[in-house]
Chain A
């Protein structure tokens, strides 16, 4: 088990003929992801060669899913067309299978496009959206596994720690920290740094709590909004597995956007201090420095009798 994405999940790539799509699809194949083809409107019938293997390309997501029975899709489509790509995938998964996972990597999608796309996905309850503006999701296997996104695959190993984060590189940092204490990961999810996104912290915590492979969780937030506070309050009531947390942006000045569109302290709300406080209140063990995540996790595992 893992969450949402099994090791052998069948994956489509939207935008597979583009520069970004082709590069990352190649990396995913190299890692061992079961890529079954791609979709680029206007280029149906063509093929793409990745790592010496040939993959079919379809015009539409409904054709692609019908032909491959794919479980998930990953989107590397430029911002002006990305929200439409999400909705096309949602429609096709819902219509043909009643379920599916959409991972949107694209950064820079207009917020109001995402308002529309998220509402569209939420009207199709079997369909899950991860992202946008995220590194994706990875379920490491014994050999290979399912890497759906842009994270460096080789830093991961199969294990029992679930990781959820708003940030890409901080997720990698957390992965490296688990490895430093000889722990692997069940599933790692980057939920993205945009103000309006699909899957949130609570969805991930609920899935990790229900997943038998996951025995402890690392949750990494950042300034802006109050998703971390809500997740912490929810975890206090519903999660029995140990959680270790970190929040980036304690030194960020108010009113300035820190790289991510959502990372902004507005009206004195959404500060790191507020979020750390909510974590502590919920019994989440906090690291004040991401290079301490490993040690804090180790202590939490010991306290829970897991080491």
Chain B
């Protein structure tokens, strides 16, 4: 789960990490009031969306798609400029390298006081799957795309792994700070910031914290100039405040509804809908559709113990996508019984008066009963014995390869 920069900065502030003064706004009047209250002649006017590359993005009119302005993060040197930038950002669509062509509508703005920058660094904390511990990564090459730094100059990325039992140790903070060339007051400020950052990472169940840039000011203070924070959704049960931080407009509406019914759904661009049990098998089903010349319209895992109602919801979610021309159901019954799935499929196709071709492949627990139920129905359901046959059938039924 991602949060906005302005929410991340509040969190950083609460954890005693220095960030510039800033105000969250949703309209131009608020932006001007923010400028007045900050008392800084130079401010940054920053679009708030859940995607990186905002500074180099482009703003377009949401309907006409007319070009409005280059850059979703602007430095304003006067009240007039704040007004001009805020007007051009709010209500328009920001397209960045991470948003895709559609871009994202900007409804939130962050006005932040200027900062005296002596040097820009990069800092990230994340869980490293190979070392099974929290990894802290820092570089002197702040403000740049870290993937490029990793590819071109990997020696400029410095890492420490935190032992979960010992916690972040003094020498690790010193090593990392000195690798960045910090000394004196700046090194001390960096160490204090890092302790607070690691504590926050663990306490708030973060999945990733990325500060790019982290800056050293002229006064040798370490300040977080940007913040990109995401949380580990598995830990939601112990963070009641996440509900308030979640910006539902940033998430696909149908993915949210799927999640509410215990389904895992991701929309794709193809035309063959899939309904599968198990994440691995769901991915494999998409792969095999593609292998036989089709294009999957979605990833959908109904989980281990879906009931008739969930199968019905899954069908209705798949059918909401106007691109769907056919559906492949692939179930390997373990806990889930094939007869129950078969009944669910029939109930759903009847209730939704399904018009597109449907291929059902059943295997595992109670497979024979499941197949009997499908065969006895008068509906236009095609059976398949294995995944390859299922994929070939559905591709043929919707008119072969695209």
Which residues of A are in contact with B by a Cβ distance under 8 Å?
24, 79-80, 108-116, 118-120, 123, 135, 150-152, 154-155, 165-170, 172-173, 176, 193, 195-196, 220, 222-227, 230, 246, 248-253, 255-263, 267-268, 272, 288-292
When chains A and B are docked, how far (Å) is the Cα of A267 from the Cα of B150? 11
B127 within 8 A of A: yes
A151 touches B232 (CB 8 A): no
Known: A119-B164, A289-B388, A291-B387. A173 touches B279 (CB 8 A): no
Q: B residues within 8 A CB of A262?
A: 129
Known: A167-B279, A170-B280. A248 touches B287 (CB 8 A): yes
Considering only residues 285-301 of chain B, those with a C-beta below 8 Å from chain A are 286-291, 296, 299, 301
When chains A and B are docked, how far (Å) is the Cα of A14 from the Cα of B132? 24
Q: B residues within 8 A CB of A258?
A: 264, 266, 279, 282-283, 299
- Which residue of B164, B286, B288 is within 8 Å of A116 (Cβ)? B164
Q: A residues within 8 A CB of B129?
A: 195-196, 224-225, 227, 262
When chains A and B are docked, how far (Å) is the Cα of A167 from the Cα of B130? 18
A272 touches B287 (CB 8 A): yes
**Cβ contacts A to B, 10 pairs, < 8 Å:** A168-B278, A169-B278, A248-B284, A258-B266, A258-B279, A263-B279, A288-B287, A289-B388, A290-B288, A291-B386
- Which residue of B98, B132, B234, B332 is within 8 Å of A173 (Cβ)? B332
- Which residue of B207, B282, B287, B291 is within 8 Å of A259 (Cβ)? B282
When chains A and B are docked, how far (Å) is the Cα of A79 from the Cα of B234? 8
B280 touches A169 (CB 8 A): yes
Residue of A nearest to B390 (CB): A291
> How many whole Å from A176's CB to the nearest CB in chain B?
6
B287 touches A251 (CB 8 A): yes
A251 touches B127 (CB 8 A): no
When chains A and B are docked, how far (Å) is the Cα of A256 from the Cα of B301? 14
- Which residue of A119, A168, A173, A289 is within 8 Å of B163 (Cβ)? A119
When chains A and B are docked, how far (Å) is the Cα of A236 from the Cα of B280? 25
Q: B residues within 8 A CB of A227?
A: 129-130
- Which residue of A111, A120, A263 is within 8 Å of B232 (Cβ)? A111
When chains A and B are docked, how far (Å) is the Cα of A168 from the Cα of B277? 9
Q: B residues within 8 A CB of A288?
A: 287, 291
A292 touches B280 (CB 8 A): no
Which residues of B are in contact with A by a Cβ distance under 8 Å?
98, 127, 129-130, 132-134, 147, 150, 163-165, 202, 205, 207, 232-235, 237-238, 264, 266, 268, 276-284, 286-291, 296, 299, 301, 304, 332-335, 363-365, 386-389, 391
When chains A and B are docked, how far (Å) is the Cα of A127 from the Cα of B98? 43
DSSP majority for the B interface?
A: mixed
B268 touches A220 (CB 8 A): no
A259 touches B134 (CB 8 A): no
B164 touches A248 (CB 8 A): no
> How many whole Å from B282's CB to the nearest CB in chain A?
6
When chains A and B are docked, how far (Å) is the Cα of A135 from the Cα of B278? 10
Known: A80-B237, A112-B202, A225-B129. A289 touches B291 (CB 8 A): yes
Known: A118-B132, A165-B280, A291-B288. A172 touches B164 (CB 8 A): no
> How many whole Å from B389's CB to the nearest CB in chain A?
8
B127 touches A112 (CB 8 A): yes
B264 touches A196 (CB 8 A): no
Complex A-B, nearest 3 residue pairs according to Cβ-Cβ distance, in ascending order: A167-B280, A259-B279, A169-B278
Q: B residues within 8 A CB of A79?
A: 234, 237
Q: B residues within 8 A CB of A246?
A: 284
Q: B residues within 8 A CB of A166?
A: 280
Known: A112-B127, A135-B334, A168-B304. A220 touches B280 (CB 8 A): yes
Q: A residues within 8 A CB of B388?
A: 289, 291-292
Q: B residues within 8 A CB of A251?
A: 268, 283, 286-287, 289-290, 296
Q: A residues within 8 A CB of B134?
A: 112, 115
> How many whole Å from A99's CB to the nearest CB in chain B?
21
Known: A119-B165, A173-B332, A220-B280. A225 touches B130 (CB 8 A): yes
Q: A residues within 8 A CB of B304?
A: 150, 168
- Which residue of A111, A165, A170, A263 is within 8 Å of B234 (Cβ)? A111
Known: A253-B266, A263-B279, A289-B288. A226 touches B235 (CB 8 A): no
Residue of B nearest to A119 (CB): B164
B234 touches A223 (CB 8 A): no
Residue of A nearest to B238 (CB): A80
A267 touches B205 (CB 8 A): no
> How many whole Å from B297's CB to the nearest CB in chain A?
11
Q: B residues within 8 A CB of A110?
A: 205, 232, 234-235, 238
When chains A and B are docked, how far (Å) is the Cα of A229 from the Cα of B373? 43
> How many whole Å from B258's CB to the nearest CB in chain A?
11
When chains A and B are docked, how far (Å) is the Cα of A246 from the Cα of B364? 20
> How many whole Å from A76's CB to the nearest CB in chain B?
12
B235 touches A170 (CB 8 A): no
> How many whole Å from B106's CB to the nearest CB in chain A?
20
